[in-house]
Each structure stands twice: as C-alpha cells, then as structure tokens.
Amino acid sequence: MFVLNNAWKTVIRNKGRNILIVLIVAIIAAAATIGLAIRNAASTARETGLANTSVTATISVDRSKLMEQARESQSSSSSDSSSSEDSTPDFDSMRSALEGSSLTLADYQKYEKASSVSVSSYYSESTGVSGTDSFQPVESSTANAANSSSSDSSSSDSSASGDGQQGPGGEGGGQGGQGGGPGNMMTSGDFTLTGFSSDTAIANASNGSFTMSSGEVFGYGESDNGKVIISKTLADFNNLSVGDTITVTNPSDTSLTYTLTICGIYENSTSSNTNAMGPMGGTSQDADNAIYTSVSTLKSLGLDSDTTANDDNDDTTTQLNYTYVLANADDYETFASDVKAAGLDDTYTVQSADVEQYESSLVPLDNLAKFALTLLIVVLVVGAVVLVVLNLFNIRERKYEVGVLTAIGVKKATVAAQFVIELLIVTMCGIALGVAGGAVASVPVSNQLLASQVSAQESEASSQQQQFGRAADMGGGPGGEQQSSSSSANSSSDSAGSTKSSNAQQGGPGGMRQAVNYVSEINATVNLAVVGQLILIGLGLTLISALVGIVFVMRYEPLQILADRS
C-alpha cells in the first residue's frame, strides 16, 4: 500500500513531466490504434468476404505441364540416339497428350461425389450444327463470303497440317471444358447448339443475359427432348415462331439431320452479346445464332460430349463445361484438397474465378495492410526508445530519493516497483487518450490511405495497358467489347466496407480489358480486440522501459549516494 500511495503522490507532484509523457504515449498509441484497426479490418475482409457467398469452381488442364511431360518423354525415349538441340519437336506426341487430357462427364461427377463438403454443380455442352435451305444463320452477304473464303482456307490448311479448327464455345479444355483434340478435324458449323443441365446453367450462359420474348424455356427431362429456344433475331431472320420446327445438319456429315421444335424465343439483353467475334469469327460465334436446349436433347441426338468423344468416325466435337458451386471460400479450399486426394492428376488445377476476382479486388487493401504493419513496427520501436530515455532521465533526477529510501530500510525491489507503477499509471493514461483519438481517426484515415492505394493500383494497371500499346480509352476485346468482373466483395459490405468500380483495367496483348471492383472502403473501427492488443502493447512497453530503470536502481548504493550528496 505504501508503494501505491507514494507512486500516486509522485505522479501528482511531477505534473509537467508526466503530462509530456502522456502526450507522447497518446500519439504513439493513436498511431498504433490506426495501424491495428487497419490490419484487423483487412483480415476481417479477407476472412469473411466470401464466407457467406457461394463460390464457383472449375477443373482445368495445365497444358504447359502436359507439353513439358511430353517433351521429357520424348527426351528420355531418344536418349540413346544423338539429336541436336534445335531438332523439330514431336508435335504428334504433344497433340496426343493434349487430346487425351479431357475429362469426361463421369470424371467431373466422380470428383463431385468425392468432396467432403456440400457441393452442387451445373454444366453445359456446346457443339456446332449447320443450317439447311429452310433454316439459315443470321449473317450478311459480306460476312457469308468472308466465312466461305475463311472456311475453304482453313479446310485446306487443316488437311495439310492435321490441325482442327476451333470448335464452338471457345477454346477447348479451358475452364474445365472438354474441347476437341488438336488432331481432329473440327467443323464449327453455322450455329452453336448448347445444352444446359439446369436453370442455373442457363443463368450463367457464356453469351450473357437474355430474357424470354415468347414461349417458355424447355424442360430437362426426356419428355422435353427436341425442344429448343432461339434468339428473336434468328427467328425474325427465318420468319419462325413458337411451335415451328427447324432442321439442322451435322457439320461433318450433312446426311445426318436433326429436327428440333421451337418452344421459346429469347432476346439478348445487351447489344454487346451479339456479333462478339465479327465476320471472321464465323456465324456460330455470333450470339444471335445460339440455339439453347437441354443436355438430355443433345444426348438423344448423339451430340453429347461422351458420344462424340467416343465416335472415331464423327469429326464433330462437343465441348463440356462443368462448374461446381460451393457454399463459401473455405469449402472451396476443402473441395480442392478432396479432389486431389480423390486422384486428380497434377496436370489439372482447381480454379475459382470468384476467388481470383476477389483476390484482385483486395490488392490495394493488402498493400495498405503491409503499410500498416510497417507503421506499427516503427511506432512501437520509437515508442520503446522514447519511454526508455524518459525513464532513465527520471531515475537519474531522483537518484537522491532512491538513496534516502534505501537508507531508511526500504528494499530496492520496493523502490523499483514504485517506479514501475508510476510509469504504468502515466502510460495507461496516455494509451487511453491515444485509443480514443485513434478510434475517431481510424475510419477516415484508413479510407483515405486506401483511396491512395486504389489510385496507385489504377495507375499501375493503366501503365501496363499502355505498355501493350493500348490507349486508356480503347475498347477491349474483339468488337470493342469490355468485360467487367463484379467483385464478390459487394456481399461483404458489413465486414469489409463497400466497393466501387474502378477505372483500372487488366489488359493483355489482345486489347481485352477487365475491370476490377477494388475494395475502396473498410470499416476500420476500433473493437475490443484492438483495445486488448493496445493494452498488451502498453504493458510490454512499460515493462521494457521499467526494466532499464530497475537495473539502474539495483546498481545504486545508498551510502555512496548520500555521501556524494553531502
């Protein structure tokens, strides 16, 4: 009790010096509060941003790894024979490796069942079909002539090289898709016939959003086999309506015809969904020439991915795009591990566009968190040094007081404890003021710092775009289409703050640009966790600075101090 009373009286008696220490500690605590609040908000945004948002995942093949394995196999097989470094690569072996890399529908479903977490899925299958005299694709005479010339040229090139044309639906093997083997002759046809497994698959159609103009969407059971929906533009071009039938042919064998019934007509919601590839992309790449149906219909026609893959006499290849849906990012990580454990080869990777887009949106926030950590370390080091120096000066000034107390019988440990308590009282007062000030300033300061990080990231993206020779205002992709990816951070506004669509574009040599919705605001409020961390930091700084003072107190000899004083 003597120590506490004496310590309090000393604090009151030396008001000027202690007020200075309180102000210094308050400034240090305020800076530390802001740094801890920023890091806490960044951690919360990363952990909870996708916690309550469904995440889609796909399995895709790593073509680079496949080709590397093929080269290694070629190298080992030819190790006994001499060959020069610039010898012609074994294209056939690499094509064979790529051709055999496609996963089947059964493979995708096997990995879905192997997951230890709840997972749902949807998929689509796309193939090319050709028109007939009574059913023609939407195209101009100029485009028709260009396509005919391009088709003839491609056919002759394919016959000479053995390479196939790119099938409908985009590049095979991408996004978990099953594309045609490079050694197969593929004819894209006039239309893209896409079968969907569910309404969810339709909602995520690659051609973008659309609405029903008349009729209704097909069902997914066998009773609805043969039913399709076509675009309003295609229906108007061919003077068709709901209930009419259309006939299409197999691009590789025109003797094979398929009769389909129009059960609905849809209308593309945005003009950017049409003419995506332009005349050189072929009519099948025009969104208006897309014919939608169910996967059950494709199977009944023998155009599903499994049938076309196993039919050596059919050059038509169906591309399979299989997508898994998981409850959150944690389930996605678990699913990726389960799939690998279930036997997925190392040449395949589990990817999530949702996770990748969200990670991209967090780049400025991650940079801010790194800055906050650096600030916190610098502040704590400076604070420790300042407190040690002030405590040393305090003890040296009160050297005679230490001598008197120890001379009258007070133990050195008791005297040292008094100094520790005095410093602790002053430090805690400074921390309390610093926490209050930091709590007020943390949100506006952190958001201002984050805004500068977002601006820097936008400038970097713009600089990268210009390095590819693209002006900042150029349209992206073929036909000037600009693709925009919505950040999943929008669903986590309660924990991570709101997001805004930035002007930054991730560009590539092809001119395609992708907008990223960076996290531009965070809720960097001071919570109990931050307060607890600051109290621990204050105790740590107090003990470090007091330890130095204790060493000096223990070294003092009372008789020598009194003798020097006299």
DSSP classification of residue 302: T
Average pLDDT over the chain, rounded to an integer:
73
Among 311, 254, 281, smallest CA distance to 167 is for: 281
In the prediction, which pLDDT does 176 show? 44
Sorted by where each begins, the domain ranges of the chain are 1-51+362-460+522-564, 53-70+93-135+186-271+283-352
Of 465 and 253, more confident = 253
Task: Kindly calculate the radius of gyration of the chain based on its CA atoms and give it in whole angstroms.
Answer: 35
Tokens of 383: 């604070």
In the prediction, which pLDDT does 531 show? 82
Q: With bands split at pLDDT 50, 70 and 90, how would you rate the model's confidence at 270?
A: low
Task: Give one DSSP letter per residue of 22-37, joined into a string.
Answer: HHHHHHHHHHHHHHHH
In the prediction, which pLDDT does 314 show? 56
No. of H helices and E strands in the chain?
18, 13
Segment 346-351 shows an average pLDDT of 85
In the prediction, which pLDDT does 230 show? 93
In the prediction, which pLDDT does 309 show? 66
In the prediction, which pLDDT does 72 show? 67
pLDDT digits (tens, 9 = 90+) for 69-108: 666 666 666 555 544 444 566 666 666 656 656 788 888 9
pLDDT digits (tens, 9 = 90+) for 455-502: 777 777 666 666 555 444 444 433 333 343 333 333 343 443 443 434
Q: For the chain, what's the residue count?
A: 566
In the prediction, which pLDDT does 268 show? 77
pLDDT of residue 529 exceeding 70, the answer is yes
Q: What does the alpha-carbon distance between residue 415 and residue 419 come to, in Å, rounded to a whole number?
A: 7
In the prediction, which pLDDT does 540 show? 83
Q: With bands split at pLDDT 50, 70 and 90, how would you rate the model's confidence at 157?
A: very low
Q: At which residue do the structure tokens 């609040």 appear?
A: 37
In the prediction, which pLDDT does 165 show? 36
In the prediction, which pLDDT does 77 show? 60
Q: What does the alpha-carbon distance between residue 145 and residue 21 come to, in Å, rounded to a whole number?
A: 85
pLDDT of residue 167 exceeding 70, the answer is no
Residue 364: burial class (beta carbons within 10 Å; 0-12, 13-18, 19+): buried
Q: What does the alpha-carbon distance between residue 173 and residue 181 come to, in Å, rounded to a whole number?
A: 9
pLDDT of residue 244 exceeding 90, the answer is yes
pLDDT digits (tens, 9 = 90+) for 370-414: 888 888 888 888 888 888 888 788 777 777 777 777 778 778 778
Q: Other CB atoms closer than 10 Å to residue 300's CB: what's the count?
A: 15
Segment 335-359 shows an average pLDDT of 86
First-residue to last-residue Cα distance in the chain = 31
In the prediction, which pLDDT does 123 show? 92
Question: How far lies 324's CA from each of 196, 219, 300, 304, 331, in Å?
Answer: 14, 21, 25, 19, 11
Q: With bands split at pLDDT 50, 70 and 90, how would you rate the model's confidence at 149?
A: very low
With beta carbons less than 8 A apart as the criterion, state whether 368 and 449 touch.
Answer: yes
Q: With bands split at pLDDT 50, 70 and 90, how would you rate the model's confidence at 304?
A: confident
Task: Give one DSSP letter per residue of 323-350, joined into a string.
Answer: EEEESSHHHHHHHHHHHHHTT--TTEEE
Q: What does the alpha-carbon distance between residue 323 and residue 204 come to, in Å, rounded to a whole number?
A: 10
In the prediction, which pLDDT does 96 show? 63
In the prediction, which pLDDT does 430 show? 87
Of 509 and 219, more confident = 219
Binning the chain into helix, strand and coil, the percentages to the nearest 5 are: 55, 15, 30
In the prediction, which pLDDT does 361 show? 77
Q: What does the alpha-carbon distance between residue 252 and residue 188 come to, in Å, rounded to a whole number?
A: 9
Residue type, 489: A
Q: What does the alpha-carbon distance between residue 526 and residue 363 come to, in Å, rounded to a whole number?
A: 23
Of 469 and 536, more confident = 536
Q: With bands split at pLDDT 50, 70 and 90, how would you rate the model's confidence at 415?
A: confident
pLDDT of residue 24 exceeding 90, the answer is no
